[in-house]
Amino acid sequence: MEAPVTTQQLELDAAPLTNEQGVAEGRAQLKAIFRPDWEATYDWDADAVYMRRRGAGPAISYISEAAPEIVFRLDAKSGELIGVDLTDFARTLAAEHVEVREIVDEMRRARWAARMPGLRRLARNALRGLDLRTREVVQGQLCAQG
């Protein structure tokens, strides 16, 4: 997904220096995930949701100690939020949060429907709606917690 970058190549002008600062900064900027240049994708094999701002550059990852399945990615140069990763999405987060469980169930249904020739467009549109719903749940439920 992203190319590895060495520390010598990064200019850490505005990025937070500590993990706690990075998590706090990521939470403070969560409204950014609703801009049209953001998208959410689900990796079935990794059981992870990756929310990214299109065209973003190198980032530094900050892992929430209170919720290690949530990773904030801040631009290495500007400190802007450019990504949020949710690991163990179906296994852990869906078991703990009803809203996530509903999203996972709908993703499974849409994935099944995508196999049917007459339902492919409907499934694609359902997944687009789930992209927005996932961002709403992340901003309003998961990342709002301590």
Does the predicted TM-score (pTM) go above 0.95?
Answer: no
- In degrees and rounded to multiples of 5, residue 78 shows phi and psi of -95, -20
In a domain, 122, yes or no: yes
What is the Cα 47 distance to its own chain's centre? 12
CA dihedral defined by 54, 70, 97, 44, rounded to 10 degrees? 60
- The boundaries of the domain holding residue 62 are 7-142
Residues 103/132, Cβ–Cβ less than 8 Å: no
Q: In this predicted structure, what is the pLDDT of residue 6?
A: 53
Alpha carbon 105 to chain centroid, angstroms: 18
Better-predicted residue by pLDDT, 34 or 14: 34
As for how many domains the chain has, the answer is 1
Spacing of C-alpha 22 from chain mean position:
15
Q: Tens of pLDDT along 104-141?
A: 788 777 777 777 787 777 777 666 666 667 777 776 66
Amino acid at 61: S
Q: What is the pLDDT of residues 20-68, one digit of tens each?
A: 999 999 988 888 888 888 888 888 899 888 889 998 888 999 998 888 8
Q: pLDDT tens for residues 61-95?
A: 999 888 888 899 999 888 899 999 988 888 888 88
Q: Decide if 1 is inside a domain.
A: no
Question: Looking at the domain assignment, is residue 95 inside a domain?
Answer: yes
Residue 10 has pLDDT above 60, yes or no: no
Half-sphere exposure of 130 (CA within 13 A, CB side): 22
Check whether 14 has a pLDDT greater than 70: no
